[in-house]
A and B are shown apart, each in its own frame.
Chain A
Amino acid sequence: MTSDAATNSQENLDLELIEIQLLTEGIFRHYGFDFRDYSLPSLRRRIWKRIYSEGLTTVSGLLEKVLHDPSSMERLLLDLSINTTAMFRDPTFYLAFRTKIIPMLRTYPFVRIWHAGCSTGEEVYSMAILLQEEGLYDRCRIYATDINEAVLQKAKAGIFPLATMQENTSNYMAGGGKGTFSDYYTARYDYAIFRPSLRENVVFAQHNLVTDASFNHFNVIFCRNVLIYFNNELQDRVQKLFLESLEMFGILGLGKKESIRFTVVADNYGELDAEEKIYRRVR
């Protein structure tokens, strides 16, 4: 490649960065959704996916469209805010939770759990199943929150594609499941409808980790594979929010490849399971 072409390429990249900043700024000021501190490489991929789907060719083109056409903003919002998940995702996390955390929770009269960024709810139902099997569910209350109202509606319904149940079943077993996974749902057409008793003690609510404050004190906070979409500054802010919201000696469970050691609250936690990223607040 000639150096001229390479210079053009760098200028295009610099220009695209300006456009992405204008897009997120415009969305924030017009719609109130704040993606300004999202992780740039993932944000860029998701934005370009929407640009192609809308038949556009530039980030600026998408900015114009979302500002003047709220329905295209709704589509972009889904692209930017839905995180893929699965029941008992990373089964070894659930196994570690069963063997290391459940014995601690048994000593509590009441357990408040915050599942932050629960998306379509698969992991909320997973934890409810685990707590039922361990005989702890009746003294737990799970607050399951997400920025996106549309995915919360799906989470509340507890209806998931039947096609995913084979994978879910093997995850359930690998995660230390003590019963028969199919006992937890009824198959109807192409869907699995989960037992309503699993959400008896679950409160689903909209909460924006970027802009909303703490709303309670918890014994356990789960936030798995959500913070990867934020940049360092935003991760620090959200980790401070979790610290404020977590009781002393409370449990924080992150995604398998999310580490607390790169954040400002690293010294506030001790490791309960280094591999599974399960931490305990110690100061």
Chain B
Amino acid sequence: MRSPELIVIGCSLGGMEALKKILDDIPDDFQIPIAIAQHRHKASDDGLPAFLRRVSRLCVVDVDDKLRIAPNCVYLAPADYHLLVERGMFHLSTDDRVAFSRPSIDVLFESAADAYGQALVGVVLTGANADGANGARQVKARGGFVVVQDPLTAEAPAMPEAAIRAARVDRILPLDRIGPFLVELARNPVSAVTPK
């Protein structure tokens, strides 16, 4: 594991509450950029970014195409677009839904895995479908690190369960341990990822 340079998070049903808990645990000096694909209605307005701005100490951005990735920020896949990652930059697409979803977690994770390889951390949270499972597998195939929310602590366990089945994930953590783990990972990547 190299020092993480990007964290990608995928969530669906129950995601708002899960994100609230995780972001609440992350301090304002957290350097690693975080990109989130939360399934949202295509006509969803500023509700989700506004909600995350209230719960996070970091700057929260609903991504525009070709936005450069900067530290101290939480980036959100916009409604009705896929969010893709190239090294240092976001791209959007309106291609067909993947796993019935746009934004799709798989699309975000797979493109980020190709761009960041070992420097990527993928986090699969609560959700009622299997989006994110292929993405988690690709993150592992490119040498990245995958954390999955313990399905027992998930409002909808199907998504974390699918990710656990699809990939050799590195950590299965209860919701309240995920934020502190990411903070530890940023401070001291080597000891954080050493199997205990």
Contacts and interface: CB of A to CB of B under 8 A. Distances in A.
Contacts of A180: none
Contacts of A1: 118, 140, 143
Nearest to B102: A84
Interface stretch (A29-37, A42-50, A195-203, A215-223): A42-50
A85 interface: yes
A41 B91 CA distance: 7
A232 interface: yes
Interface string A1-41: 10001100110010000000000000000000000000111
A235 B95 contact: no
A91 B42 CA distance: 11
B21 interface: no
Contacts of A259: 64-67
A229 B86 CA distance: 13
B194 interface: no
A94 to B, nearest CB: 13
Nearest to A235: B66
Interface stretch (B25-33, B48-56, B107-115): B107-115
Given A6-B118, A9-B117, A41-B115, A83 B94 contact: yes
A12 to B, nearest CB: 9
A262 B115 CA distance: 21
Interface in A204-259: 225, 227-229, 232, 235, 255-259
Interface in B119-171: 140-143
B143 A42 contact: no
Contact count band on B: 20 to 34
Contacts of A90: 80
B46 to A, nearest CB: 9
B65 A257 contact: yes
Contacts, number: 84
Interface residues of A, number: 31
B64 A5 contact: no
A44 B81 CA distance: 17
Contacts of B62: 257
A266 B114 CA distance: 31
A228 B95 CA distance: 11
B86 A258 contact: no
Contact of B111 (A45, A83, A85, A235): A45
Nearest to B81: A257
B87 to A, nearest CB: 10
A146 B137 CA distance: 37
A41 B117 contact: no
Contacts of B111: 41, 44-45
B118 A39 contact: no
Contact of B142 (A9, A45, A228): A9
Given A6-B118, A257-B63, A41 B84 contact: yes
A209 to B, nearest CB: 16
25 contacts: A1-B118, A1-B140, A9-B143, A10-B117, A13-B142, A39-B86, A41-B93, A41-B115, A42-B95, A44-B111, A45-B84, A45-B93, A46-B95, A83-B94, A91-B43, A174-B43, A227-B65, A228-B92, A228-B93, A229-B93, A256-B78, A257-B65, A259-B65, A259-B66, A262-B64
Interface of B: 43, 62-67, 78, 80-81, 84-86, 91-96, 107, 110-111, 114-115, 117-118, 140-143
